[in-house]
Amino acid sequence: MQGRFGAHGAPRGSRAAGPLERRRAAISSTPNQSKVVAKCTQRLNALQTYATKGKISVHGTPATEQQAAAVYQACLDTRTTLTNLRGQVTAALAARNAADVAMKAFDEGLESWVEATFGPTSQAAVDFGYAKKPVAKPTVAVKAAAVQKAQATVKARGVVGKRKRAEVTAAAGGGREGGNASGGAPTPVSPPAPLCAPSSPAP
C-alpha cells in the first residue's frame, strides 16, 4: 500500500492540489442558480401544505409560515432583481459603446470642418480643443520691467558682483600696505634721516 500511495494517501507521482485547483473545486461545488431556485420553490410549496396549522420551530426558535416563506421568497426575489439589473447593465453598456463610436466619427468630421473654415491653428481651433493655445511671447515693456525688478531686488539685498568685490578688496589691501587710493603699487617709504652726526674728540 505504501509503495503506491504517499504519506497522505495520495498516489505517488501526483501533484498536491494548489490554491487555484482548490478554488476551482470550491466554485464547482457551489450550487448553481437553477438548483437554488428549485430548492426555494419546493420549500415554499411544502410550507403552504404543512405549516398552516401553527408555528414551526427552526433551531429552537418558533416561526410562522409567513416568516419562513419570507426567507425563501427573498432568495427568489433578489435573484430576479439581479437578473433584471444585469440585463439593464448590458443594454446600458451597449448603448454607451454605440454612442462612443458615433461621437468619434462625428468629431473627426467636425475637426475637418473647423480646420477648413477657420484654419488648423486659429482661435476657433483652440476653442474647440483641436489645436493647442500658442504661448504668448513677452513684450519689450514686460522684459524691461523684469530687468528693473531684478536689479531692484539685487540692490535691496546688497548683493555685490565679483568685479566690484575685487575692487573693494584691492582698495582695502592697498590702504593697509601703504598703497595709494587708486589701487596701484604701494609707494616706498624712505627711512628717516639722522638728527645729527656724532662729534669727533679733540686732539
Residue 137 DSSP one-character state: P
Does residue 104 sit in the same domain as residue 151?
no
Angle 55-60-62 from CA coordinates, rounded to 5°? 20
Query: What pLDDT, on the 0 to 100 scale, is given for residue 61?
Result: 92
Q: Which domain holds residue 155?
A: 140-173
Residue 88 resides in a domain: yes
> What does the pLDDT look like over 118-171, one tens digit per residue?
999 999 999 999 998 877 777 777 778 888 888 778 777 776 667 777 776 776
Residues 121 and 168 in one domain: no
CB 137 within 8 A of CB 153: no
Can you give the pLDDT at residue 9? 47
Residues 124 and 66 grouped into a single domain: yes
**Residue at 30 is within a domain:** yes
Q: What is the pLDDT of residue 27?
A: 42
pTM over 0.85: no
Residue 159 and residue 94 share a domain: no
Residue 67 and residue 102 in one domain: yes
Does pLDDT of 68 surpass 90?
Answer: yes
3-state SS, one letter per residue, for 97-125: HHHHHHHHHHHHHHHHHHHHHHCCCCHHH
**C-alpha cell at position 114:** 473647423
- If asked whether residues 46 and 99 sit together in one domain, one would say yes
Query: Quick check: is 101 in a domain?
Result: yes
pLDDT band at 100 (very low <50, low <70, confident <90, very high): very high
User: Kind and range of the H or E element at 75?
Assistant: helix 65-118
Inside any domain, residue 43: yes
Question: Based on the domain organization, do 122 and 32 belong to the same domain?
Answer: yes
Spatial contact of 166 and 155, defined as CB atoms under 8 Å apart: no
Cβ-count burial of 65 within 10 angstroms (0-12 exposed, 13-18 middle, 19+ buried)? middle
Rounded Cα gap, residues 17 and 96, in angstroms: 43
R_g of the chain computed on alpha carbons: 51
Phi, psi of 11 (to 5 degrees): -60, 140
- Across 19-33, 43-57, 66-80, which has the greatest mean pLDDT? 66-80
Q: Looking at residue 29, what is its pLDDT?
A: 46
The pLDDT of residue 5: 45
